[in-house]
Structure 1
């Protein structure tokens, strides 16, 4: 019987901080043993779904790249101006939806 593969444990807060130090630069976040896991992680980074380190949604881009040892997730932070614009748009949308005070 073969051993189950180890789960990939990614420290997303550290990865997001490292990306913020190099705006616009694509950097590897993690390597996952399956493409399915990598695609899910890339989606979660782009949408900040259950990953508050990457908020607001859309402030980071992420994609996958096939490697010999698995599938890598690479990402980049789009910069302070994009992040500020996204936060402003979200606040405006909340006000228009009746959620703002």
Structure 2
């Protein structure tokens, strides 16, 4: 059993993470960042939940780049093949659920 106060979590580098659970190859991790990630396509599906801060989520839909601003409580679901990159506006804390070892 774990109780985690996500708002107090920080890491020593951008996109540093705390492993919360691994359920049959699906990981749940808490990330802290103040820097953009990189354009990528996950090995499987991804659920991205913004717990603290603001994130501009860049993604490609039918080859066209788009941006959606996310605020606390917003959820982004990346289906298989969705190219995307998160750009935090300041510090952000994010819960990510994805296939173990995914980019």
TM-score normalised by L of structure 2: 0.29
Higher-Rg member (1/2): 1
Q: Which has the higher contact order (CA 8 A, sep 6+)?
A: 2
TM-score normalised by L of structure 1: 0.29
